[in-house]
Structure 1
Amino acid sequence: MGKIALIGAAGQIGTPLSLLCKAVNTKAKVSGYLPDNGGLKKALAGADIVVVTAGIARKPGMTRDDLFKTNASIIRDIFSEVASTCPNAISCVVTNPVNSTVPVAAETLKKAGVFEPRRLFGVTTLDVVRASTFAAHALGGNIEPKQLRVPVIGGHSGATILPLYSQAQPVVQLSDEQLAPVINRVQFGGDEIVKSKQGAGSATTCMAYAGFRFVKALMSAQSGQSVTEEAYVYLPGIPGGRELAAELGVDYFAVKVQIGQKGATKVLPIGDLSGNEKKLLEAALCELKTNIATGVSFMSV
């Protein structure tokens, strides 16, 4: 049995995610640490999987740039400790804005000389969950969301999120006009939750579920099973990714990735896109380039 280090376990995402990972009545041992007396180092020591949820949540009126100003330094400090304590662990970044915090994590590991792109993931599973759920709703309940598989590429915020309904399995019988509001909701569903909570939080419980799904996939891969999941990764460092990075003009991108015991083994092609999806991809890349630059430039100071 491997060790999962959940950083930010007492937070609004970390608390339900901790419960899901423990699965209540199992023989897994749980230990908690506070920041004092080297708590972070103790939590990370011997970790096989590191899941980072630490940081502040988005509030009404707060842009993702505002969020980044606080969370970037938190990610930098955590991954400085990851670099020295468990550099061979597979690390998953949940802390938003993922489009920018993953580059911060990568640059921190690079500075320490221990960056292995195959072992660093930005968790975008919530976008996949929303893509199938909202499409199932639009189809009038004729299909269960779990029966619908929709690839989601790009990033993990707003217009950078691109659900590929043209590649959905089974086929989604919706026109472009019917899909437009569905796509918008997949992209901006987080805003709905922030507004509805009126400053009391963001998309926390659903993010915890999505994080758990991704952690389960990693654990399945570590046990030798064949696993393919969408995730936000550093393309040039993973087989198949360098060509995609050159084609898209970005180094970080959410895409289907094959995962093995030691992390990502292959980036899969994004496939053929519809005319509308090509337009959405252009918009996604424009915003994503800015997000990535924000993360990289933070670490260059």
Structure 2
Amino acid sequence: MPHLNQSVFKISLIGAAGGIGQSLSLLLKSQLPKPEIYDKVELCLFDINKDVLNGVMVDLSHIDTLYITLKLSQDIHDCLHNSDIIIMLAGLPRRPGMTRDDLFHINGTIINDLALNIMKNNPSGSSLKNISIVSNPVNSLVPLMVETFKLYKREDLISKVYGVTILDQLRCNHFTGNMNQNIVIGGHSGDTIVPVIQDNELSDDEKLEIINKIRFGGDEVVKAKKGHGSATLSMAYAGFKIFKQFYSLFTSIETNEIGITLYHEIDSCAITGNVKPAILQNVRFFSIPMVIGKNGIPISFNFEIFKYLMNNEFYAKKLLPTCIEKIIENIETGIEKSKEFYREQ
């Protein structure tokens, strides 16, 4: 007999009709296990392209994971209302010759609007546990959203905002042929991506060749698709790996924390007792291994890798200084844009 008041875990997918959105919707609908502490899952889809979205909805509805219901939202408010996880995929995709900075002028406006709508539809004390930004440029869009929440005094949302950078890790695994030893830290564009390759048999030049393949893997995909798309399939798979972990954290009985690498505000590490390395003292946001608790907020950041990096001239003098200089610029771009939007309200 069905429950009279069924508990529902709601995942909101913004930009579900796009290249990443369609593939990620498929993975979420078909691969998420049955929740342990909820009766069912609602996968709520939204996109401004209503015709394509309707087709995606009908197509996905034939997948027989009956505990996951689909909902097509006609407006953003309905999609965001009482969400547990919000996944942001909307915005302009990369095209040949475009940089992530070019994308910011358009996608920054979209992220600001999304932040305002999240606040309207998820008051303090709501069920919202995670806001994940996949849209580029992650380095600037995450600070933009966090700063917007700060300006509107929604401190309850600040620590729940993450930038999804895991595709860089997947590329690192692929190009090094190693899925365990190496990690990727920093940001999610060009020189801010710092793959930490701990293979003593490789020369610095050989490492740099691999690092550049990882850093510019997205450009390779854009060129290969000849302007007809970007890294949509690999990004959807990468995103699913992250969201499956969050889903397990929030819907299973035994999972109380997860270890994961994401782009997040790291100034809050002082609360956890972590000590930021000196080289990161002026860096507010960084992609770093962290432990996230049941409430969706980081418990700790793992800066142990910096002991290795600061004793390695290749990283300490070549890669990290450039990464940090550029990521600070990206962060400031996002923060200043948020303040500009706030003044215009």
Partner AA of 1:230 in structure 2? T
Identity of aligned residues (%): 38
What TM-score comes out, normalization by structure 1 length?
Answer: 0.89
| Secondary structure of 1:236 counterpart | coil
| Secondary structure of 1:13 counterpart | helix
What TM-score comes out, normalization by structure 2 length?
Answer: 0.78
Aligned residue among 241, 245, 266 for 1:235 = 266
**Contact map agreement 2:272 2:299 (CA 8 A) in 1:** no
Q: Quote the Cα distance in structure 2 between the aligned partners of 1:99 and 1:52.
A: 14
**Contact map agreement 1:53 1:95 (CA 8 A) in 2:** yes
CA, structure 1 residues 56+241, in 2 after alignment: closer, same or farther (shift >3 Å)? Answer: farther
Aligned Cα root-mean-square deviation (Å): 1.9
1:203-247 residue CA offsets vs partner (Å, 9 max, x unmatched): 111111111111011122223244111100011124458742764
- Work out whether 1:194 is the aligned partner of 2:222: yes
Which residue does the alignment assign to 1:221? 249
Which residue does the alignment assign to 1:281? 320
Alignment of 1:73-222 (within 5 A): 73-86=109-122, 88-115=128-155, 116-136=157-177, 145=178, 147-166=179-198, 173-222=201-250
**Contact map agreement 1:56 1:70 (CA 8 A) in 2:** yes
Q: Quote the Cα distance in structure 1 between the aligned partners of 2:213 and 2:129.
A: 34
Which residue does the alignment assign to 2:25? 18
Alignment of 1:245-260 (within 5 A): 247-248=279-280, 249-260=282-293
1:247-301 residue CA offsets vs partner (Å, 9 max, x unmatched): 4121011000101211221111142212212220111011111111111111121
Q: Quote the Cα distance in structure 2 between the aligned partners of 1:154 and 1:46.
A: 32
Q: Quote the Cα distance in structure 2 between the aligned partners of 1:226 and 1:242.
A: 17
| Secondary structure of 1:10 counterpart | coil
| Secondary structure of 2:96 counterpart | coil
| Secondary structure of 1:29 counterpart | strand
| Secondary structure of 1:148 counterpart | coil
Aligned residues: 284
- Give, in angstroms, the shift of residue 107 of structure 1: 1.5
**Contact map agreement 2:266 2:301 (CA 8 A) in 1:** yes
Q: Quote the Cα distance in structure 2 between the aligned partners of 1:174 and 1:132.
A: 16
CA radius of gyration, larger in: 2
- Work out whether 1:265 is the aligned partner of 2:293: no
- Structure 2, unpaired ranges of 5+: 1-7, 31-62, 341-345
Which residue does the alignment assign to 2:86? 50
Q: Quote the Cα distance in structure 2 between the aligned partners of 1:158 and 1:241.
A: 31
| Secondary structure of 2:237 counterpart | helix
- Give, in angstroms, the shift of residue 62 of structure 1: 1.2
| Secondary structure of 1:54 counterpart | coil
Q: Structure 1 residue runs of 4+, over 6 Å off?
A: none
Which residue does the alignment assign to 1:139? none
CA, structure 1 residues 17+220, in 2 after alignment: closer, same or farther (shift >3 Å)? Answer: same
